[in-house]
Amino acid sequence: MKSILPSFGKDVSIDIGTSITRVMGGNRESMMSEPSIVATDTKLEKIVAVGDEADRIVRRMPDMWRSLSLLQDGFIVDYRVMHTMLHYFLNKVSNSLRRSRVLVSVPCGMTDVEQRAMMDAVIQAGAKEVFLIEAPIAAAIGCDLPIFQPRGSMVIDIGEGTTDMAILSLGGTVQSQTIRFGGGDIDKALMKYVNQCFGLLVSDQTITAIKHSIAIATPPLEEQEFSFQGRDMTNGIVRRSVIHQSEIYEVINNVLQGLLDAIKQMIRNTEPEIVADMMEYGIVLTGGAAQLQGLPERISAELGVPVQVAVNPDTKVVEGLQKAANNIVSLTRFIVNSKGRKGRA
């Protein structure tokens, strides 16, 4: 396969997300992002396309092609999909993969077996060396948090299927964890609400449109509404309806509790001196779902800690990996595992 981005350079970073895989090389301009899916022929069960192309053909002919995801709740569900995806993405961005170091973000608590499977797949795709870094550590590096200073920094990356959190200080990890919460949980709750309360079947795209336009994590000050179309569950007729922001807030409020409890628990288990730093300097949110309206305000109100959302929050993990590539020696403590073509790096 001919590389589309010859400027990717020697180091390539890959953040395999539940919804989107982001690959970065060289500088910030060399970035590619495509859906984390493969399309399979429904009869032959053979993989026929990856990423954007897979998304296109599955949308057009859902009877002939089926999409398979790589991750569920942050963990690998299909190793054949992983091999195909890594091969596709890495070879698409690099002409000289045989000389490349590849940095991959992984969830906290990935088992040794899973780590080795991931590293083997990267080496089999053709890379020279592979380094694994926990996703929230990469996010913290991507946000340029002062992780080497004697002060506590906390980052929370909220994606589609998982939330990765870490507290860092003095060049080490104080605590890190991955929980099963993400934007996909909000989608599921909204879908259930629309089905039950409106009696309408709607597409995933409609739910995403509702979420991105008026979903909110704090009680709305001014009521906004969103008009949408769906198929009546009783008679099959297409009709329009209107959903209000205050209803959506109620739905989201229930879903958010798990996330808020997990953050509280992590802070409770942290040394008071480090918590005092967080009270002063705040928590940084990254990941696509950090863009949910009112989310930083909501977390801040629950915890009494300032919270801010990073600029371009959804690319902070891959940016952090790429920054780490330039600094691999000083970041050795953050490398979860590594492997070279002829064994361990």
Ligand X SMILES: Nc1ncnc2c1ncn2[C@@H]1O[C@H](COP(=O)(O)OP(=O)(O)OP(=O)(O)O)[C@@H](O)[C@H]1O
The residues that bridge with 177 in the sheet, in sequence order, are 165
Per CB under 6 A, the segment of 86-94, 255-263, 284-292, 330-338 that binds ligand X is 284-292
Query: Judged by CB, which is closer to Mg ion: 169, or 322?
Result: 322
Q: Which residue is nearest to ligand X (CB)?
A: 183
Check residue 145 and give left, alpha or beta (phi > 0: left; psi -120 to 50: alpha): beta
CB of 15 to Mg ion, least distance (A): 6
Per DSSP, which regions of 198-306 are E strands? Answer: 200-201, 225-232, 238-244, 283-286
Query: Judged by CB, which is closer to ligand X: 98, or 212?
Result: 212
Binding to ligand X by residue 338, rule CB under 6 A?
no
Which of 9, 25, 142, 184 lies at the binding interface for ligand X (CB under 6 A)? 184
Per CB under 6 A, the segment of 196-204, 207-215, 248-256, 300-308 that binds ligand X is 207-215
Place of tokens 């990941």: 287
Per CB under 6 A, the segment of 121-129, 143-151, 154-162, 265-273 that binds ligand X is 154-162
- The residues near 345 (Cβ < 8 Å, ≥ 6 apart) are 129, 130, 131, 338, 339
Binding to ligand X by residue 287, rule CB under 6 A?
yes
Per CB under 5 A, the segment of 10-18, 32-40, 45-53, 67-75 that binds Mg ion is 10-18
CB of 79 to ligand X, least distance (A): 17
Per DSSP, which regions of 75-180 are E strands? Answer: 75-76, 101-106, 129-134, 153-158, 163-169, 172-179
Query: Judged by CB, which is closer to ligand X: 161, or 230?
Result: 161
Query: Judged by CB, which is closer to ligand X: 18, or 245?
Result: 18
- Count, residues near ligand X per rule CB under 6 A: 22
Residue 144 CA to residue 323 CA, distance in Å, equals 9
In angstroms, the first-to-last Cα distance of the chain is 27
126 binds, among ligand X, Mg ion, none (CB under 5 to 8 A by kind): none
CB of 256 to ligand X, least distance (A): 12
SS3 content of the chain, % helix, strand, coil (to 5): 40, 30, 30
Per CB under 6 A, the segment of 14-22, 142-150, 222-230, 327-335 that binds ligand X is 14-22
Residue 287 CA to residue 319 CA, distance in Å, equals 12
308, with CB counted inside 10 A (0-12, 13-18, 19+), is: middle
Residue 139 CA to residue 316 CA, distance in Å, equals 5
Which of 9, 17, 136, 230 lies at the binding interface for ligand X (CB under 6 A)? 17
Show contacts with Mg ion in window 142-181 (CB under 5 A): 159
Residue 344 CA to residue 131 CA, distance in Å, equals 10
CA atoms within 13 A of residue 291's CA, in its CB half-sphere: 14
Which of 159, 230, 296, 320 lies at the binding interface for ligand X (CB under 6 A)? 159
CB of 201 to ligand X, least distance (A): 20
Q: Which 3 state secondary structure label does DSSP give 225?
A: strand
230 binds, among ligand X, Mg ion, none (CB under 5 to 8 A by kind): none
Binding region for ligand X (CB under 6 A): 17-20, 71, 74, 159-162, 182-184, 208, 211-212, 287-289, 291-292, 314
